[in-house]
Each structure stands twice: as structure tokens, then as C-alpha cells.
Chains A and B, each alone.
Chain A
Amino acid sequence: MITENDLVREAAETWCAGSGKVCSYYNIRKQFLSALSEYMNKHSLSKEDILGISGIGCSGRFTTWQDVVTVHTTHGNAGNTAQGAATAMQLAKKKGLVYVVSGDGDALAIGMSNFQQLCHNNVKATYMILNNGIYAMTAGQTAPTTQQGIETVSAPYGNLETPWDTVSLAIESGATFVARASGYPKESKMLKDILLQSFEHNGTSVIEIMSYCPTQDPVSRKRKLAEAEKEYLKNSVDIKDLKSDLSPKLKYAVLKEELKKESKLIKGLIYCASEKGYAELLLEQKKKAQSAYPGENLKSRISSMLKDKKITSI
């Protein structure tokens, strides 16, 4: 029986915390560990079966405190590292879980292509994007998710770009489980439920987790966690509460545009589909390849392939 505490690796905290201004990553970590321990117990997994991969920035520190096998990658390379790990594990039919913790800058700016490639291959991994709308660790520069018009240290007269929609991007890239949750305390249960479902999902899961940064809050440096939470709850709506006859992909695309006028964000489990991923397809294709060069084992198959390259004397 593994508890949340068993999964904690002792190390000094680097995330911010002050009076009423607490980084929402703490709660995300708590819900994550709770979900992970539950999942591990359900499937009798040990710590060696869990591979945690993180990127850069404050979210990159996530794996520092986790006592599983962890990989802290370079800038923007969490997606491809996870893709390799997940592909190799699936090919070897190894039980376990690959999870990624990435920030909005890590996933959607410097690592955009790698993130999309992972989704595109739909290998079994859970990709969490902790979105606080700003580059927090590096002093508050504009992030790919910063709202238009927000003033930042790198856009002193206001951000000119519109923020990327992580959910649309993930769906279009090929992820088969896409959700939006938040790290706010009142939505803890929702976050944990979504995480648990994503761990069970056989494909790439992307969860955008809306977060609050107490130090570089792009909305107002004076805002406290409770205010940010209140605002978020007011301005977001669970997809379950939205009625539509459209297919899940279209439903999100259409309703997103409609709700934009009211500045509302759609949350919840937005898209879930069952499709074979790259690793499964690769394993299936082996049969085809092996029928071209028959043999009872690898040696005999290679030998059959090399037949016409063999040097023989006259």
C-alpha cells in the first residue's frame, strides 16, 4: 500500500508562499500525488514503474519532490523525452506510467513542436500543462498563454498576441484525452478525478491546469489566491453543463467561440477517444515485416534478409 507521503522525496521547497498568496502548484502536487498513489495501488505498481518527466521553469521542479524515477529535461524537451520513454515502455509491454509536468512556456513556446509530436503519436503518457499565464521563474515575461493587452516586463505597453488555446491545440495535434482543470482548492476533486481518468487512458492525455502565480500574477500583483480562484470559478464553465448535439471536437470549437464574448473558459473533460497509438501500430506491423523475411527468430529473419548480400565464391 503506497500513500501520498511515500511518494514524497525530501528537498527544499522553491515555490512561493506567503500570506494569502500561495502558489497553486502546491495544491496541484497534492492532488497529483493522491491520484498517483491511488492508481499505483489499484494496479500494484511500484516506484520503479513510474517515470516522471519535467521541463523548465517553476513547473520543472515538480519532479524534484517525487520519489519515483524522474527525468528533468532541458528547455522544451519534456514532450519528446516523454514520447521516447512512453514508446519504449509500450513496445516492451512494460507496466507503468509516464507523466510529464510542463509549464505553459515549456509546452507551448520553446517545446511546442515536441509537445505536438507526442500528442500526434498518441503513446500512453499523461501530459500536465501548468498554465499560470506568465513566465514566472524568469521575472514575468510574456508567455504564449498571456492574455492580449496584459503588460509584462517584456511587453511594457501590453501583449499584442492572443494566447494559444491549449485544448484546441492538443486535440488537433492528435491527443486522445484532453481536459482543462485548475489548481484552485475548490476544484481539487475535479482535478484529481481527471488525473485518475487520464492515468487509465490508453493514449496521450493532455490536461491543462489553470494556475495562480502569487509573484508574477499577470492580472494584478496584489491579487490573492482566493480572489484569483473566485474570478476563475466565475469565468469558467464545465463542459458537462453545456448542451450540444455536435461531436465532442466540434462542440468545443463552436462553444468556445460563443463563450468568448462572455470571456468564459470551458473546463472539464473536453475530449476523449479510443484510437491506437504509434507503439501499438508498430507492434502490429511487425507481423507484416516478419512475413516478408520468415524465420523462427531474429537471427534467421536477418539471415534471410541478407541472403542476396552474402559473399560466396564461384
Chain B
Amino acid sequence: MPKTILFAGSASQGIKTATDAFPFVPLSLGMHTSSSQFYDSSPRKGAMGGDVVIGGDCQNYYVDCLVALSQEGLEATKDRVKEDTIVLYDNSEVSLEGLGISSKKQIGIDFKAVSNSKFGNLASMGATLKIMGVKPEQKQALEQLLKEKADVDTAAVMAGFDSVAESLDDILDFNNKKSVSFNDSYYLMGNEAAVFGAMAAGANFYAGYPITPSSEAMHKWSEVSQLSDIAGYLQGSSEEHAVGVMLGANAAGAKGWTATSGPGLDRMIEQINWAVTSRTPFVIYNVQRGGPSTGMPTLTQTSDLFTAVYGGHGDHPIFVLTPSTPQEIYEIMKLAFKIAWSYKVGVIINSSKEVSQRKNIVRLCLNDFDDKNLRMLPLKKGHRTGNTANDSGTPANRAAVQWLNDRFNKFEEAYDAFSIADFVNIEAENSQNPYAWRSLPYNIFKNMKFEPAKLKSAPEEVYICYGETVPVVKEALGKNGLVALKSVYPYPISIIQQLNSLGTKKILVAECNRGVRLHSERGQLANKVRQYFKGEVVSLSKWDGFPMYPDRLEEYKE
């Protein structure tokens, strides 16, 4: 079971600094580590926190160690404390009285005083490192590591380290170093991984409009693209403007993409629809967010499935891919470009805050970054990108419609068969293993044929998940089966139909959205599964903006 360490405090207390720096210690010891932060939508105000997860891709609700630096931070997170949680708190800022905290291990330290600093964040980080198992004799190695990896005041960290008497856990004992080494791996945020995936796939243009929680993708692209001699970048004046700029570049032979979030995707819909029917390829990296409008900008949701699939007037096919970790974002971005430019279609990647703003290990293939891959594609003489809806009725445009129909027919076969998933406890042939993608040469997709996975056996209870719920369900899966969808649209109908004949009695669909109606049609994907699965379908859904937690999975059932 992964260990969860939660730094809780208020904005401007350096919670982000501590959450970003801490993981380099377990990472350097060969432990799989990720971190995720929650924060208020008002700058420099409100409670915020950062979960560091050692040994997993998602945090438990009940934490192993809570580090509380402010009263409001503690009050926002106190429910995540259980009896054996270690509560480390700044006793000059925080009082535990009257909060009903059940923890038996409480340690109060004045972190600002011990580190002689305006902030207690780094001292609290030092204290946590010691509590989690770093031994006094390993202090020098720790200091050296932090100097190399984290741009922090190591003296403050060490003062915090010395302020704690003993270790209460042994997870970070340097003598427990794992033999695993993370070759070519970087500790990146999901949004940053999207940028490297795009560039590895040959993307040479980006136009976007900043929107939480996808903005880091724009920030990173604006930095990385300038390292290339060719790649372009533009911050547009709105999502409507930006998506049009991107599609214009693509019409001129660029390989352009954009990043956005739920409300932004809404604003792009008109042109997405146009681009698909006019065969202008594009990739949209959408970090979903609950709406409407401002909605829940700093929280997580997977509620844009319907928008991505059905958004637009008139019929138009589209691909919707769903990464569940930053590594998968990187891989899926590469795949998205391949699909978009092979079939001349649009691909929307539906990620979510919990995946995209999570920092995690991402293995990159640096050889993919080459200006030679970023050249503009040649245009064809007489190529027309038409607005068919507007043009229908004139002879020229009847021809255009025919042209589209011919193209669609060729493409439909592949489209129907398209479904990428990982299977756990389900025996399958032809399944696509996303982790194998990175070791394959880039042009492996050139003649890619999508064949639906052939399932051979499956347990009675099977979970179907996509995006952020995949790692959560994996942690709590037991002997049940799991279909972890990497592509959610076209809908995985072939998989569901096969489960019908393999003796599966119950499908549980875990997703962070509400669905059409609260009771009878709960869960956006669950709705589709109900349509095709003959047995019982149970929706596990949650729409409060906080992620699902593996230790509370049972509670989310309808």
C-alpha cells in the first residue's frame, strides 16, 4: 500500500516548495513517487495542501503523515487523519485542541524558530524526512542530494531534521535503497509531459489560451518551443481565437495543438466540428474541469466526456483518449498526433487535474526531439478545406460532400475497431500495452491497424475505468478484473460485448462525474455500458471536485 504524506497549510507558506522538493529523496532511493496539490482559486489566499505518495500514482484519503503549518490548512485536512497518522504541526501557528483529532502520534515544533526563518515549510520537510526514516548518520548524504536536486535552503531543512528526536517509520532509510533505477526519467508534471509528448510527435505549433488546470502546458511549450529553430507559439485572445489560429496553421501544413480545460473546450467546439468535417487534423489536450463557466477550476473532474464526444452541430467522428498518469500523457500525446495526421481527424485527450497537475516519473526518449521532425508538411495543389454545411446545395459542394463521404468510409472500419485498453486480471490477446509504446520506434504507428482486443477470460466483477480513476481502482482491485481504457471514444463496445459472453456478472464504472441524471443514468460512461452490458452495471461516481481515494472506493457506489 502506498504511503501518503500530506503537507497542509495556507497559500504563501511554501507548501508547493516542500511538496515539490520532498519527492526527490524517495525518487533517488528508487521508490516510485508522485505528488499532487490542492489549492484555492484565489491567489495567495485559502488553504492548500500537497500529497506526496510514495509507491503509487494516487493518494489515500487517510494519510500516514500530516504536516500542518496553518490552522486553516489543518482544518481543511483534519478528516484525513486516522489513529495511527503521525501529525507533525507548527505549534506557533496551529492548535489541535477541539478538532477531534484521533491521532496518537502528535509532534508540535516551532518550525520557524528552529530554522530561524520566516517560513516553516523547509524545516517541516526536514523533520518529516527524519520521521519517515532518514537516519542521523545519513544527514550528509541527504544534504548533498537536496543541494543537487532541489533549489531550497538546505540549512533550514537540516535545522528541521535536527528538531525531531527519532524516526517513527523506516520507509526513507537510505539503507533500504531499491535496486530500481529510473533511466532517462524525469520528475515532471503531467502538463509538462504533454508538451514533451507533443514535441516528440513532431508538433511544431501551439496556439492556446491559459486556463487552469492546463496552463502549465502552455507555460512549458512557450519555453521549450523557443529551443527549436522552427516551432511556433502564440497565446491567443480567447479559446475561439486560439483554436482557429491552430487550425489555420494546420491547414497551412503545420502540426499544431492546443491545451485547454472544460470551459475552454466548450468555446472551441464550433471549430472542432468544422475541423473534423473539413479533415483538418488537430490535437486538443483537454484537462477536464467541472463547470459551468468558472466552475471548479482548481479541483478535479472527468466530466467532459460528453462534451468531447458529442460537442458540435451535426455528425462528426472524433477520437477521445484518456491518460491516467503523466507517463501516459506523454505516450498518448505521441499516439494522438499519429492518429490525427494518419487519418486526418481530430483527437481530444481528456485528462484531468489529478493526472495533469500530478508530478510523477516520466521516461522520455530524448532522441525524439529533433528539428528535422518539426518541418512543415507540404500542401497539395488544389486542396480544399471546405465549410460543407455552409456550402451544401451548390454543385461544387456536393462534390465536396462526396469527397468527405469517400474518406469517411475508408476510415470507418478502423474507427469501429479502435479501442485501447490495459487489462488487469483479464486474459486478453491483441491488447495494446501503452508502456511498450515508448520503446518502439516512432513510425511504428505508420501502418497501425486497430484490432479490438480478444478477451479470453474475465472475473465475475469487472471495473471499467479511464483517466484518474485507473490508479485508484488498481490499488483496491483485489481479484476483480479491470479494463483501464486509454481510449474512451469510440466507446469500448466490443470489450463490453465480449464481457457479456465471458461470464462477467457485474461491471463497475468508476468516473468523477455525475452523468445525465442523478439516479437512473448516473455516470457518463456508465450510461453507455448499461446500454450494451447484459448484467448488472454499478456506477462509482463522485463530483465534489476531490479525487477518488482507494481506501474509500466502496463509498462511491450508487
Using a CB–CB cutoff of 8 Å, the interface residues on chain A facing chain B are 9, 11-12, 14, 46-49, 51, 53, 56, 60-61, 64, 67-75, 77, 79-89, 91-92, 94, 98, 113-114, 117, 121, 278-279, 282, 285-286, 288-290, 293, 295, 297-299, 301-303, 305-306, 308-314
Contacts and interface: CB of A to CB of B under 8 A. Distances in A.
B385 A71 contact: yes
20 contacts: A69-B381, A71-B384, A72-B384, A73-B271, A73-B274, A79-B244, A80-B248, A81-B245, A83-B244, A84-B207, A84-B249, A85-B249, A87-B205, A88-B376, A91-B231, A91-B232, A94-B253, A286-B229, A297-B370, A309-B186
A314 B145 contact: yes
A306 B181 contact: no
Interface in B160-201: 174, 177, 181-182, 185-188, 196, 199
A311 B396 contact: no
A71 B248 contact: yes
Interface stretch (B211-219, B220-228, B292-300): B220-228
Interface residues of B, number: 83
Given A60-B390, A72-B385, A88-B249, A289 B223 contact: yes
A311 B148 CA distance: 11
Given A69-B383, A80-B244, A91-B230, A74 B274 contact: yes
A86 B248 CA distance: 8
Contacts of B224: 302, 305
Contacts of B245: 80-81, 83-84, 87
A291 to B, nearest CB: 11
Contact of A67 (B234, B376, B380, B382): B382
B396 A117 contact: no
B267 to A, nearest CB: 12
B395 interface: yes
B106 interface: no
B246 interface: yes
Nearest to A304: B227
Given A72-B385, A289-B226, A311-B28, A84 B246 contact: yes
A84 B247 contact: yes
B244 A282 contact: no
Given A84-B244, A85-B249, A70 B376 contact: no
Interface in B28-59: 28-30
A68 B384 CA distance: 8
A310 B362 CA distance: 9
A282 B382 contact: no
A89 B404 CA distance: 26
A107 to B, nearest CB: 14
Given A80-B248, A81-B244, A285 B141 contact: no
Nearest to B227: A301
B149 A308 contact: yes
A12 B143 CA distance: 77
Contacts of B370: 297-299
Going nearest first, the 5 A-B pairs with the smallest beta carbon separation are A84-B248, A80-B244, A289-B226, A11-B396, A81-B248
B223 A88 contact: no
B369 interface: yes
Contacts of B141: 314
A285 to B, nearest CB: 6
Contact of A51 (B241, B251, B390): B251
A91 B149 CA distance: 36
B367 interface: yes
A75 B240 CA distance: 11
A294 B244 CA distance: 33
Q: Which of B242, B378, B384, B396 has the most A CB atoms < 10 Å from its CB? A: B384
Contacts of A91: 205, 230-232
A51 B371 CA distance: 24
Given A47-B382, A298-B369, A310-B186, A77 B271 contact: yes
B177 A314 contact: yes
B375 interface: yes
Nearest to A57: B390
B280 to A, nearest CB: 8
B27 A311 contact: yes
B205 A113 contact: no
A92 B251 contact: no
A302 B227 contact: yes
A299 B200 CA distance: 10
B256 interface: yes
Contacts of B371: 297-298
A98 B245 CA distance: 13
A113 B241 contact: yes
Contacts of A61: 391
B28 A312 contact: yes
Contacts of B379: 48-49, 51, 69
Contact of A313 (B181, B226, B374): B181
Given A51-B379, A282-B232, A72 B226 contact: no
Interface string B101-134: 0000000000000000000000000000000000
Given A74-B387, A80-B245, A94-B376, A311 B185 contact: yes
Nearest to A279: B232
Contacts of A48: 378-381
Interface string B391-431: 10011110000000000000000000000000000000000
